[in-house]
Amino acid sequence: MNKKILMAWVLVVVVGAGVGGWYAQRTTPHTHALVKMTDEHGKTYYTCPMHPQVRQDRPGNCPICGMKLVAREDRSASASASGGRQVLYWYDPMRPEVHFDAPGKSPFMDMELVPKYADEGGMDDSAGVVIRVDPRMAQNLGMRTAPVTTGSFWQRVDAVGRVAVDENRIAVIEARAPGWVERLDVRAVGDPVRAGQVVAGIYSPELLAAQEELALAQKLNDATLIEAAQTRLGLLNASTSGRPQRQVLIRAPQAGVVTELQARQGAQVAPGMPLMTLADLSTVWILVEVPEAQATWIAAGKPAEARLRSLPGRVFEGRVDYVYPLLDPQTRTLRARLTFDNADGVLKPGMYAEVTVFGGARREVILVPSEAVIRTGRRNVVIVAEGEGRYRPVNVTLGPERGDETVVLGGLKPGQQVVVSGQFLIDSEANLLGAYHRMVGHEDESPAVRTADQSAGSDRDIHAHHGTSGSTR
């Protein structure tokens, strides 16, 4: 009996010791041992194993979960273990805009942070901002490059012009004395007229009286009266020889076509009243509107060509006759008139023609393909390929553009390679890294720079959310 009681007490003591140990373990707080992980080249900091974005320069507790921090090596201040490559920061591939100073798991996704190496992009002391793209990725994206060349840039203006009457070849036929139109050889607008052709006959009592006075003076052989009568007839545009005639014949002063007909047969006319208007179409004008940016390319005397859709294959050669001094404030264009020979009358007023004005050549200028230029509205950028997957955005000053070529006035040198396809992807990466902000300086307030600053501001908001420990950059 005593033996059984003794065994029971022993069992009770063992069970009690086990329960006590379990209880003691449950009530004892969890602690972390400070493990120093550094060497003579590194710098020690303290972080949380569960939240690697937390970083402090002294021991303490995690501001997120309350766990004790452990010591780690500052790998951003030393070379990484992989081939001596320097790590700038770590980032989550799904959130690359957020940077971390230590490796670990992403607070956004259950995945390891990826290091960003110094040689993958950043500041190059000799060339500015450099972006690195894997050659295989560049090939998959279809990125193409083209050389920066030098050559002659032919300044030419292509515009649509309208054929008009040469106003220097317009003649107006008027009546010099009151009377009536008794003869009219031109009946409609558009009728052709030869030089010296009789176009009208006017009965004017005043003209008839002046002719009779001349005849009387000649009969009396009075030189004074003869001179006075001839002067009067000359002022009235009447003949001063022969005997008096009832009708005064009016002849065309030049060849052309009738553009206006103000008199009809039998109508009464007054002194100074126009009878008709003639236009010589052997030479015509073509009026064009030149963009303001190309206005300096043209000047009087520059050669020009015109083409009509109704006459494919035929080219009319002319020249710039006059450049108007005023710019149209609404269309921002400058008006110019071009002179063309029209002996066969093919160019008719009112027609539209495709006109090219040649402004001459600019020699030994730097040329790039137009598709290589990224225009932001405030500046122009091209991506220069430097070899081995390295690309650098460069600000350029552009000159005139024609077709698929653009003149570069500054920023590039002949022989460089520029990206002509896929450059917008590199431009986006440059914006992510703040490339434009460093390239043009802090005073630049262009939209692209503000966008990069706004992204940086968003990063700072995210960093502030993760604590006061200065865990992110």
In this prediction, residue 280 carries a pLDDT of 94
Q: Between 8 and 280, where is the model more confident?
A: 280
Query: Among 259-273, 310-324, 381-395, where is mean pLDDT lowest?
Result: 381-395
Banded pLDDT at 390 (limits 50, 70, 90): confident
pLDDT over threshold 80, residue 184: yes
In this prediction, residue 58 carries a pLDDT of 81
In this prediction, residue 450 carries a pLDDT of 32
- Cα torsion through 217, 220, 222, 226, rounded to 10: 20
Residue 411 falls in which region: left (phi positive, over 0), alpha (psi -120 to 50) or beta: left
In this prediction, residue 33 carries a pLDDT of 40
For 174, 197, 198, 264, 350, the CA distances from 273, given in Å and listed in that order, are 5, 20, 18, 12, 28
Q: Which CATH number fits domain 129-151+364-443: 2.40.420.20, 3.40.50.300, 2.102.10.10, 1.10.3720.10?
A: 2.40.420.20
Banded pLDDT at 250 (limits 50, 70, 90): confident
Q: Between 12 and 358, where is the model more confident?
A: 358
Half-sphere exposure of 18 (CA within 13 A, CB side): 6
d(CA 22, CA 381): 70
**129-151+364-443 and 167-279 have identical folds:** no
Q: Hey, which residues does 470 pair with through a beta bridge?
A: none
Q: Between 197 and 232, where is the model more confident?
A: 197
Task: Name the residue type at position 62.
Answer: C
pLDDT over threshold 70, residue 76: no
In this prediction, residue 9 carries a pLDDT of 67
Domain ranges of the chain: 1-30, 33-120+444-473, 129-151+364-443, 167-279
In this prediction, residue 393 carries a pLDDT of 84
Half-sphere exposure of 365 (CA within 13 A, CB side): 19
pLDDT over threshold 90, residue 108: no
In this prediction, residue 97 carries a pLDDT of 65
Q: What percent of the chain has pLDDT over 70?
A: 71
- Token representation of residue 278: 């003639």
Render pLDDT for 303-345 as a digit per residue (tens, 0 to 9).
999 999 988 989 999 999 999 999 999 999 999 999 999 999 8
CA atoms 234, 237, 241, 245: torsion sign: negative
CATH class label, 167-279: mainly beta
Highest mean pLDDT among 6-10, 357-361, 395-399, 431-435: 395-399
Which whole number is the average pLDDT over 282-297? 91
Banded pLDDT at 206 (limits 50, 70, 90): confident
Residue 332 falls in which region: left (phi positive, over 0), alpha (psi -120 to 50) or beta: left
In this prediction, residue 241 carries a pLDDT of 66
Render pLDDT for 35-73 as a digit per residue (tens, 0 to 9).
444 434 456 777 776 677 777 888 888 887 777 777 765
| pTM over cut 0.75 | no
Render pLDDT for 399-428 as a digit per residue (tens, 0 to 9).
888 778 888 888 888 989 998 887 666 666
- Token representation of residue 17: 């010791």
Query: Among 12-16, 232-236, 320-324, where is mean pLDDT lowest?
Result: 12-16
Which whole number is the average pLDDT over 200-207? 85
Q: What percent of the chain has pLDDT over 90?
A: 24
In this prediction, residue 74 carries a pLDDT of 53
Continuous H helices in 75-204: 135-140
- Measured over all CA atoms, what is the biggest interatomic distance in the chain, rounded to whole angstroms? 192
Q: Between 408 and 471, where is the model more confident?
A: 408
Number of residues in the chain = 473
Sequence-distant (6+) residues with CB within 8 A of 442 are none
Q: Between 431 and 41, where is the model more confident?
A: 431
Banded pLDDT at 16 (limits 50, 70, 90): low
Query: Among 46-55, 161-170, 172-181, where is mean pLDDT lowest?
Result: 46-55
**Exposed/middle/buried for 41, CB within 10 Å: 0-12, 13-18, 19+?**
exposed
d(CA 1, CA 228): 179
pLDDT over threshold 70, residue 91: yes
Which whole number is the average pLDDT over 25-44? 46
pLDDT over threshold 70, residue 123: no
Banded pLDDT at 152 (limits 50, 70, 90): confident
pLDDT over threshold 70, residue 137: yes
Sequence-distant (6+) residues with CB within 8 A of 164 are 284, 285, 286, 287, 337, 349, 350
pLDDT over threshold 70, residue 438: no
State the residue for tokens 């005139």: 400
**Exposed/middle/buried for 129, CB within 10 Å: 0-12, 13-18, 19+?**
buried
Phi, psi values for residue 75, rounded to 5°: -75, -20
pLDDT over threshold 90, residue 347: yes
